[in-house]
A and B are shown apart, each in its own frame.
Chain A
Amino acid sequence: MRTGKGVRGLAVALAGVLALTACGGGEEAGQDGPTSLRMTIWSANEAHLKLFNEIADEYKKANPGVTAITFDPLPFENYTTTLTTQIAGGNAPDLAWVFENSAPDFVASGALLPLDDRLKKVDGYGYDDLSPATLKLWQNDGKLFAYPFSTSPFGVFVNTDLLKKAGQKTPAELIAGGQWNWDNALAAAAAVQGATGRAGLVIRDFDYKGWDNLSTFWTGWGAQAWSADGRSCGFAAPEMVDAMTTLHRAIFTAKALPGPGTTADFFAGDAAMTVTQISRASLLKDGGFGWDLVPLPAGPKGNYSVVGQAGIGVMKKSPHADEAADFLAFLTNPTNSAKLAQFFPPPRQSLLTAETLAKTNPKLKPEQLQKVVIDGITNGVVKPNHAGQAELSQQVRAGLDPLWKADADVRAVLEGVCTKIQPLLAK
Chain B
Amino acid sequence: MSQTDTRVDRVGARPTLGRARPYWTTRRRDQLTGYLFIAPQLLGSAVFVILPLILVVWYSLHEWNVLAGTFEFVGTENYSALAEDTNLGPVLRATGLFSVGLVVFNLALALLLAVLLNQKLRGTIVFRTLFFSPVVVSLVAWTIVWGFLLQDNGGINGLLDTIGVDGPNWLRGETTAMISVVVVQVFKNVGLNMVLFLAALQGVPAELYEAAEVDGAGRLRQFRRITVPMISPTILLTSIITVVGSLQVFAQIAVLTQGGPGTSTTVLVYYLYQQAFQFHHFGYGATLSIVLFGIVLALTVLQWQMRRRWVHHES
Encoded as 1 (CB less than 8 Å from any B CB) or 0, chain A from 175 to 214 comes to 0000000000000000000000000000000001100000
The answer, among A4, A9, A105, A404, for a CB contact under 8 Å with B35, is A9
Query: Do the beta carbons of B278 and A394 come within 8 Å of each other?
Result: yes
> Does residue B43 face the partner (Cβ distance < 8 Å to A)?
yes
Query: Do the beta carbons of A401 and B169 come within 8 Å of each other?
Result: no
Q: Distance in Å from the Cβ of A255 to the closest Cβ of chain B?
A: 12
Encoded as 1 (CB less than 8 Å from any A CB) or 0, chain B from 185 to 199 comes to 000000000000000
Enumerate chain A residues within 8 angstroms of B1, measured Cβ to Cβ.
1
Enumerate chain B residues within 8 angstroms of A22, measured Cβ to Cβ.
none
With A16-B42, A105-B67, A260-B152 known as contacts, the answer to whether A391 contacts B279 (CB < 8 A) is: yes
Query: Do the beta carbons of A84 and B169 come within 8 Å of each other?
Result: no
Query: Do the beta carbons of A16 and B262 come within 8 Å of each other?
Result: no
Please tell me the size bucket of the interface on B: 35 or more
Stretch at the interface among A106-114, A286-294, A304-312: A106-114
| Cα distance, A390 to B261, chains bound together (Å) | 17
| Cα distance, A263 to B277, chains bound together (Å) | 27
Q: Distance in Å from the Cβ of A338 to the closest Cβ of chain B?
A: 33
Query: Do the beta carbons of A17 and B47 come within 8 Å of each other?
Result: yes
Enumerate chain A residues within 8 angstroms of B11, measured Cβ to Cβ.
none
Q: Distance in Å from the Cβ of A81 to the closest Cβ of chain B?
A: 5
> Does residue B66 face the partner (Cβ distance < 8 Å to A)?
yes
Q: Distance in Å from the Cβ of A131 to the closest Cβ of chain B?
A: 27
| Cα distance, A259 to B173, chains bound together (Å) | 13
> Does residue A317 face the partner (Cβ distance < 8 Å to B)?
yes
Enumerate chain A residues within 8 angstroms of B280, measured Cβ to Cβ.
84, 105, 390
Query: Do the beta carbons of A12 and B67 come within 8 Å of each other?
Result: no
A393 and chain B: residue at smallest CB distance: B278
Query: Do the beta carbons of A12 and B35 come within 8 Å of each other?
Result: yes
> How many A-B contacts at CB < 8 Å in the complex?
98
A8 and chain B: residue at smallest CB distance: B35
Enumerate chain B residues within 8 angstroms of A405, measured Cβ to Cβ.
172
With A13-B46, A17-B51 known as contacts, the answer to whether A85 contacts B277 (CB < 8 A) is: yes
Encoded as 1 (CB less than 8 Å from any B CB) or 0, chain A from 362 to 397 comes to 000000000000000000000000001011001001
> Does residue B153 face the partner (Cβ distance < 8 Å to A)?
yes
Enumerate chain A residues within 8 angstroms of B171, measured Cβ to Cβ.
261
| Cα distance, A110 to B68, chains bound together (Å) | 6
A84 and chain B: residue at smallest CB distance: B66
Enumerate chain A residues within 8 angstroms of B69, measured Cβ to Cβ.
110-111, 317
Q: Distance in Å from the Cβ of A386 to the closest Cβ of chain B?
A: 13
The answer, among A14, A16, A111, A402, for a CB contact under 8 Å with B39, is A16
> Does residue B258 face the partner (Cβ distance < 8 Å to A)?
yes
Enumerate chain A residues within 8 angstroms of B47, measured Cβ to Cβ.
16-17, 20
Q: Distance in Å from the Cβ of A85 to the closest Cβ of chain B?
A: 6
| Cα distance, A331 to B260, chains bound together (Å) | 41
| Cα distance, A236 to B150, chains bound together (Å) | 32
Enumerate chain B residues within 8 angstroms of A31, measured Cβ to Cβ.
none
Query: Do the beta carbons of B46 and A81 come within 8 Å of each other?
Result: no
Query: Do the beta carbons of B152 and A109 come within 8 Å of each other?
Result: no
Query: Do the beta carbons of A88 and B66 come within 8 Å of each other?
Result: yes
> Does residue A87 face the partner (Cβ distance < 8 Å to B)?
yes
The answer, among B150, B260, B278, for a CB contact under 8 Å with A390, is B278
Encoded as 1 (CB less than 8 Å from any A CB) or 0, chain B from 56 to 75 comes to 00000000111111000000
Enumerate chain A residues within 8 angstroms of B169, measured Cβ to Cβ.
259-261
Query: Do the beta carbons of B172 and A398 come within 8 Å of each other?
Result: no
Enumerate chain B residues within 8 angstroms of A209, measured Cβ to Cβ.
258, 260
Enumerate chain A residues within 8 angstroms of B274, measured Cβ to Cβ.
394
Give the most central of A13, A81, A261, A401: most B CB within 10 Å: A261
| Cα distance, A85 to B280, chains bound together (Å) | 9
A–B pairs, 13, beta carbons within 8 Å: A4-B2, A13-B42, A84-B277, A84-B280, A87-B66, A106-B67, A260-B152, A261-B152, A261-B153, A391-B278, A394-B274, A402-B261, A404-B172
Pairs of residues from A and B, 5 with the lowest C-beta to C-beta distance, nearest first: A109-B67, A261-B152, A401-B261, A16-B43, A391-B279
Further 12 A-B residue pairs, CB within 8 A, beyond A1-B3, A111-B67, A397-B260? A13-B42, A16-B47, A84-B277, A87-B66, A88-B282, A110-B69, A209-B260, A261-B151, A261-B152, A261-B170, A317-B69, A394-B279
